[in-house]
Amino acid sequence: MLNIVLFGPPGAGKGTQSTKLIDRYSLVHLSTGDIFRANIKGQTELGVLAKSFIDQGQLVPDEVTINMLSAEVKKNPNAKGFIFDGFPRTSAQAAALDALLESMNSSISLMLALEVEEEELKRRLLLRGKDSGRADDQDPAVIQKRIDVYNAETFPVRDYYLAQNKYKGVNGIGEVEAIFTALCDQIDAKANS
């Protein structure tokens, strides 16, 4: 299996690049943010719970997020591999993902990180908020909170994969196509190694 964690702060371009990568490599795309938003739309119990955190720019608790992600992985027993987009966001989530994949005799192949500086992230998120209708992209205070949470809780997850020699950083500023090529180069190098 080819299992990729697409990593980076809010607004780094994970969603855009995931869409392109799943086409190229025939992978299943699991975006925890998208799944939460679908639950909010469907007014499920999970959606109501998740909304209370998302609206404040906070992370949904680990236990809830890990259970949801595990269920989604198990819904795809024949997948060639997964792109995990927006997960793991904490060290506990990273450890849970390793345990889950190990139970399937699999593992993470690579963490690809989109590197974008903070001012550019804020600019992109406010721009996206105008089109997407996402409330959490429209309020500068919520955007700042999400970036702060990323720096405090999510950025350290990088070390988890660095220690396993699986971390690769890619410049996330520039043309979408050029960034996509850089990501594919990393994946192909890993697949051929």
Q: Under the rule (CB under 6 A), what is the footprint of ligand AMP?
A: 10, 32-33, 36, 53-54, 57-60, 65, 86-87, 89, 93, 136, 146
Q: Is 89 a catalytic residue?
A: yes
- Of 136, 16, 135, give the one whose Cα is nearest residue 83: 16
Find the shortest distance in angstroms from Cβ 71 to ligand AMP. Answer: 14
Find the shortest distance in angstroms from Cβ 65 to ligand AMP. Answer: 4
Closer Cβ to ligand AMP, 55 or 188, answer by number: 55
Q: Which of 37, 51, 124, 146 is catalytic?
A: 146
Instruction: Report yes or no: 62 and 92 within 8 Å, Cβ to Cβ.
Output: yes
**Locus of tokens 């608790």:** 61
Instruction: Please report, for residues 84, 140, 189, the alpha-carbon distance to residue 15 in angstroms, rounded to integers and kept in the order given.
Output: 10, 21, 22
Q: Which of 14, 51, 124, 168 is catalytic?
A: 14
Q: Is 158 a catalytic residue?
A: no
Q: Which of 20, 122, 128, 190 is catalytic?
A: 128
Find the shortest distance in angstroms from Cβ 135 to ligand AMP. Answer: 11
Q: Which of 51, 89, 124, 168 is catalytic?
A: 89
Find the shortest distance in angstroms from Cβ 89 to ligand AMP. Answer: 4
CA-based torsion, 49, 5, 76, 66: positive or negative: negative
Q: Is 24 a catalytic residue?
A: no
Collapsing DSSP to helix, strand or coil, 79 comes out as coil
C-alpha span between 127 and 123 (Å, rounded)? 6
C-alpha span between 35 and 40 (Å, rounded)? 9
Closer Cβ to ligand AMP, 88 or 187, answer by number: 88
Instruction: Report yes or no: 170 and 179 within 8 Å, Cβ to Cβ.
Output: yes
Closer Cβ to ligand AMP, 27 or 136, answer by number: 136
Cis peptide before 9 (omega within 30 of 0): no
C-alpha span between 167 and 142 (Å, rounded)? 28
Find the shortest distance in angstroms from Cβ 139 to ligand AMP. Answer: 12
Kindly list the catalytic residues.
Answer: 14, 89, 128, 134, 146
